[in-house]
Structure 1
Amino acid sequence: MTTAALPPRTALFLPASNPRAIEKARGLGADMVILDLEDAVKAADKDAARDAAVVAVAQGFGTSLGAIRLNGFDTPEHAADVAAVAESQADYVVLPKAEDAEQVARLIETLGKPLLAMIETPSGVLAAAGIAALPGVAGLIAGTNDLAASLRLPPSSGREAMGVALQTVVLAARAGDAWAIDGVFNKLDDAAGLEAEAKAGRALGFDGKSLIHPNQIDGTTKAFGPTEAELAEAEALVAAATGGAERYRDRMIEAMHVDQARALLARFASG
């Protein structure tokens, strides 16, 4: 099983029923490829998609992590998905509509693999801290489309209408020492809008963003990477620090700030 010390900046969802997209994904350079058995797959194709996902993760995705998203607890396909994915070579498992920590804990025990829990409902948001704290939960993914619908937000609402929910997902992830992955951007031909939303997500504390199209990878990777100014500042701060609380340029710094700068530089070095 592949392991990753750093969270994915880009997590690309692909229908497990689309062999052409799966093959193409091996050369795209996303940090994580998530083969979807849930929303992106027609009911008639569920069994074939499950088999295809197991084969695909066995073949691997090069330097990209491979994950499989299950059908949810309340679906007829869930049990078969769990049985197949537990025996697969998937690096991670993605669970939609996570809402109950005890239920998630039992699933993790059955799967024996690290899990990314999607927070897509008000109940999920309220339970996020307990879910993120579970051993075996690698991260939380904000399912913003379903969350907006379950919050009954009007179509004209912007992301700020979900601000409390999104911040709660980040808080829960940080309290549980888990990754926080932002939701998808639905407009496929709006590079500027994607970059703006990705930068806003990073500013909110998210580690990366889930994607629905390959053309979103480069812009999102850039948005979640450090700027040249941030890198220069981090390098200078680390070089100047001598330990303890001290003056650095026009402000006071301490060990926490040095650790943050080192973490930023390590992330950049990872590519």
Structure 2
Amino acid sequence: MDMRNRPYRSVLYIPGSKSRALDKARSLPVDAIIFDLEDAVAVDEKANARATLGHALTEGGFGARVKIVRINGLDTEWGRADAQAVAQMDCDAVLLPKVETTAQLDAVSSITGDLPIWAMMETPRGMLNAAEVAEHPKLAGMVMGTNDLGKELQARFRPDRLPMLTSLSLCLLAAKAAGLVIVDGVYNAFKDDDGLKAECIQGRDMGFDGKTLIHPAQVEIANTAFAPAPEEIDLARRQIDAFEQAQAAGQGVAVVDGRIVENLHVATAREILAKSKAIETINAG
């Protein structure tokens, strides 16, 4: 399944240094895993984390889950060694933190070769340069780093995320224009199910493909929020049927539930059904 055409409802961070967490991740119903060598790993564990993660990925057992490795920035003492290690790992992409320029992506791709790159978007300069960053030929996805971004913006937390909306929207526009995957930032209060659900719904309605998560307890809520709802699937099927019947009768539009259905609605309906089928395939696996 092409990386851009599969679900990314739930994208769980797992510390690359924790063998037990890596083992548990093999059985979690997540669409993708970010194996973290950066923030989740203590300074004196950086080298061990590379070895531990490399061994776990060689062992395999992660099934259809997309395997993304977040390295330290190349401006740190660990970044180059991380990138060299990831180039040899059995993973699907390398995730670079604090991306602000295409030069940073060039630098990592000179080490990781043909491995797709994902970009952490988490600084004001990154927001302003999102459109340029998104057009890099090796870039396959963007991840919102809302904790770091909030710190840089000196923004206050609000349930409606008003201080963050411009930044989220700039990256969304850039990702959609370039045909990239884009996933929303984390929700820190992992025991607050209602708050997580509300933020997932907001992100889904904005156009995000899924949510990054910090705890397995958050997976089910994200999977549900970012999957097509049964009523959406039903409507999509009826829209396609009605439009095909209208075309057969020589008409360019159809009407479903009192609303006009045109080509663009049918294209969206087909995307909904394709995503639903992809989720079924993952669940069956």
1:70-98 CA distances to partner (integer Å, 9 max, x unpaired)? 00122100110111111111111111100
Q: Which residue of 2 aligns with 1:129?
A: 131
- 187-196 or 56-65: bigger deviation: 56-65
Q: Please state how far the C-alpha of 1:133 moved relative to its aligned partner.
A: 1.2
1:248 equivalent to 2:255? Answer yes
Separation (CA, whole Å) in 2 of partners of 1:184 and 1:18: 20
1:87 corresponding residue in structure 2 = 88
Deviation at residue 49 of structure 1 after TM alignment? 0.3
The alignment partner of 2:212 has SS state of strand
Secondary structure in structure 1 of the residue aligned to 2:14: strand
Q: Provide the identity percentage.
A: 39
Residue of structure 2 in register with 1:265 after alignment:
273
- Deviation by residue 1:7-61 (Cα, 9 ceiling, x = unmatched): 4111100111111010000000211111100011000000000111212222221
Aligned-partner SS, 2:205: helix
Q: How far is the alpha carbon of 1:107 from its aligned partner?
A: 1.8
| Cα separation, 1, equivalents of 2:241 and 2:170 | 35
Match of 2:165 among 163, 166, 178: 163
Query: Which residue type is aligned with residue 234 of structure 2?
Result: A
**Superposition deviation, residue 163 in structure 1:** 0.5
Residue matched to 2:33: 33
Aligned to 2:210: 208
> Please, what TM-score do these two structures have when normalized by structure 2?
0.91
Contact between 1:245 and 1:252, CA under 8 Å: does it hold in 2? no
Q: Gapped runs of 5+ residues in structure 2?
A: 280-285
Partners of 2:183 and 2:208 within 8 A in 1: yes
Q: Secondary structure at the match of 2:90?
A: coil
1:69-218 equivalences in 2 (<5 Å) = 69-111=70-112, 112-155=114-157, 158-218=160-220
Residue 11 of structure 1: aligned partner: 11
Deviation at 1:220, TM superposition (A): 0.3
Question: Are the counterparts in 1 of residues 99 and 121 from structure 2 also a CA contact under 8 Å?
Answer: yes
1:253 shift after superposition: 2.5
CA-CA distance at 1:222 after TM superposition: 0.1
Contact 2:7 2:275 in 1 (8 A): no
Worse overlay, 245-254 or 130-139? 245-254
Mapped partners of 2:234, 2:117: distance in 1: 35
Aligned partners of 1:58 and 1:90 also within 8 Å = no
Aligned counterpart, 2:282: none
CA contact (8 A) 2:11 2:212 kept: yes
Confirm or deny that 1:23 pairs with 2:31.
Answer: no
Letter in 1 for 2:44: A
AA aligned opposite 1:232: D
Please report how far the alpha carbon of residue 132 of structure 1 lies from its aligned counterpart in structure 2 after TM superposition: 1.2
Deviation at 1:262, TM superposition (A): 0.6
Within 2, Cα distance between the matches of 1:29 and 1:195? Answer: 17
Unaligned runs of 5+ in 1: none
Q: Which runs of 4+ in 1 moved over 4 A?
A: 155-158
